[in-house]
Chains A and B, each alone.
Chain A
Amino acid sequence: MHSSVINRYAAAIRDAILAHEADIECLDREIGDGDHYINMKRGCEAIAGLADELNTLPAADALNKIGMKLLSTIGGASGPLFASFFMSMSKTLKTSDTITTLQIALAFEAGVQAIIQRGKAQAGEKTMLDVLIPVATTFQQLAEQGQSDKDIAAALKPIASDGLESTRNMLATKGRASGLGERVIGHLDAGAKSCQVMIDTICDLIVSGQ
């Protein structure tokens, strides 16, 4: 994986987040405090601004740079969580010279573990982890089976959507929505939505061979 691929994905993610402004903002207004979309947008734009610099770096270093930039740009809960994800991914990829699909899957899993540790959250708490954990698990399984990138990407799209949908009937026990008690039932989690949008976007690029 070259850093130019990371830049292409980052640009597509930014476009997708901007395109989903209304959905994400609406979810955060219902059971959050209305700032999630703005924070995501600020993070995406900060990474877009790094494109030239990222192009000069090896992939692992580019991911670390992205993590550091998000840490000092986003704030809130998303900042440390996404920063931990990318910095941990970077650390895992640094251990090998060539980057295979399986190594990316293992790095993704390491990133998700870093989010679990930093957020002290688990699956079932109505957070981004309800999308990320099942995606990481399936990603790793399919990569270990040696499936093609296209097949893996196609398989991960419904996993991410199902994960998002699973947050609808959960109680929130972490994050800002946890102050609302039973009132959050019936609403999707905004952070899970952002993660589903990002994963879906990258999977679409891979499936279409871009």
Chain B
Amino acid sequence: MKKFANNVDHMLIESLTGFATAHNDLVEVQFDPTFVSRKHKSHNKVAIISGGGAGHEPLHAGYVGKGMLDAACPGQVFTSPTPDQMLAAAEAVHADKGVLFIVKNYAGDVMNFEMATEMLPFEHATVLTSDDCAVVNSTYTTGRRGVAGTVIIEKCVGSLAETGADLASCKALGDKINLHTSSIGAALTSCTVPAAGRPTFDISDSEIEMGVGIHGEPGRRREAMRTADAIVADMVNAIVHDFEAKQLPTQGEILLLVNGLGATPLMELYLIYNTAAKLLTEKGFGIARSLVGNYITAIDMAGASLTVCLLDNEIKQHWDSPVHTAGLRWGC
């Protein structure tokens, strides 16, 4: 393993301290329990709080700021944060209109947030994100994972909360976007959890993992390496099938997000975008909004995910509204 590190046990603290210092106009960080909150506390709005394991940067701390999250609780690498972090964050940022937690659907995240809400003295609700169409949903499984669609949900729900909307409306918008969004990831390599010191899985130059999540774990299938067009076509088809399974229209305006998993350069991400946009347009979608870059990563995994969100006027309005965070900024 070769990483910029001093001591693997201190990486999270050193990185978060750097993050908070670099963006000291936007955020503050507290340790023990650890959470990142806005520099200037908001008033009279639903407090939007998210959290998850480290290793997905800029998610979630990178989305704390005006128009998005009020606070984020980072866990250890790929490990859900703990209830005391969520309680401390809620205590610090709640602004009399309740607390909305945005939680990616993983067993650990769900349980820790659940235990926090059982102890929380404020009105609260939770949006569980589950946009990954590589995992088949069933009553017998943990269910679909929350992946890059989470960024869209945090952006739009954050925007709605700024208008003074109530807790139920914020939750409803989050749930709607989750339903309207499908994602799928493909990986060329695994990633190295710093404390583990070696890649989570081995893979040859002639293979890819299709249907990966964001934790460097193997995907749904190991497949032969092929051209970008062939890989992207399979990803687009998986998303279209998922739209059909969810009985969503397979035409209309969409937001297309091509997300890098950490070690894939923008040149390749835009190449993927080029193919995906062409294929989705041919299928009858109109690409109304686009985002290309590293927004929810798996440390140093080479790979990318495609996310398609079916837009309506409400989602479009909240996607376009001003946002000022370390990870996303436009309109202000």
Contact = CB atoms under 8 A, between A and B. Distances in A.
B78 interface: yes
B262 interface: no
A180 B82 contact: no
Interface residues of B, number: 42
B195 interface: yes
Given A32-B217, A80-B115, A75 B76 contact: yes
A80 B141 CA distance: 19
Contacts of B107: 77, 119, 174-176
B84 A34 contact: no
B79 interface: yes
A180 B220 contact: yes
Q: How large is the interface on A (under 10, 10 to 19, 20 to 34, 35 or more residues)?
A: 35 or more
A33 B217 contact: yes
A186 to B, nearest CB: 13
Contacts of A80: 83, 108, 111-112, 114-115
A78 B76 CA distance: 13
A75 B217 contact: no
Nearest to B192: A34
Interface string A168-191: 000001111111110100000000
B220 A75 contact: no
Give chain A's interface secondary structure class: helix
A74 interface: yes
Contacts, number: 127
B242 to A, nearest CB: 15
Interface in B81-113: 81-84, 106-108, 111-112
Contacts of A183: 218, 220-221
A162 interface: no
A179 B76 contact: no
B145 A179 contact: yes
B75 interface: yes
A72 B219 CA distance: 30
Contacts of A39: 76, 79
Interface of B: 33, 53, 75-84, 106-108, 111-112, 114-115, 132, 134-136, 138, 140-142, 145, 193, 195-196, 200-201, 211, 213, 215-221
